[in-house]
Amino acid sequence: MNDLKDKVVLITGAGKGAGRALAESLAEKGALIAANDISPVNVEDVVSGINSRGGKAKAYIEDIAKKVGVQALVKAVEDDFGNFDILINHAAVKPSSPLLDMDEWDWHRTLDVNLTGAFLMIQSAGRVMREQGHGEILNLVAGAGKGEENDAGAYLSSKAGLVELSHQAGLELSPYGIRVYEIINSENVVNEVLSLLEAK
């Protein structure tokens, strides 16, 4: 895919961080941006900025850790754009408590968003892409394998799981023309994603 113009890109966690940077950079390349976040606070600013600069973007407020939310998100993007070409799983939470002090809720929420959410998005988006006969899925797994003292064990565990999920998804989806990538510990996520998507 060497031309991103008019490609529909669905980005989870697009309200801030690498998700926001990717939404803005891909819009500059002519991509149509479906920007998801759990809260409208930041993502609506992202979308407004893209549209004010002549791009095209729309905000979708859903919790990707919930199956119903994921299904509603994918259906809404289909209805608004007709289809979508690229899914970028960026949404993530990272509690700061060490394991001995971590609340069980934080553990479950981290796995639900970072791993289960990615699974649900891959599954729902993958079904649409299978019907289309093509698609790209990029999973951002910053932090995998880079534990530090007092780093959140839940976060590292979820990201390690996402690496293996990415590998399995790549094996299962490739016969349908769907390519799956994981971006690990990249110092410049935006450039790496652009290089992947613009490669021939």
For 3, the token pair is: 């031309």
β-partners of residue 178 are: 135
SS3 37: strand
Q: What gap in Å lies between CA 161 and CA 171, rounded to an integer?
A: 16
Tell which residue, 109, 78, 77, has the closest CA to residue 94. Answer: 109
Q: Of 60, 155, 176, 181, which is the active-site residue?
A: 155
Cβ(48)–Cβ(58) under 8 Å?
A: no
155 is annotated as an active-site residue: yes
147 three-class SS: coil
Please, is 141 exposed, middle or buried when counting C-beta atoms within 10 Å of its C-beta (0-12, 13-18, 19+)?
buried
DSSP string for residues in 82-99: S--SEEEE---------G
What radius of gyration, in Å, describes the C-alpha atoms of the chain? 16
Q: What are the residue numbers of the active site?
A: 155
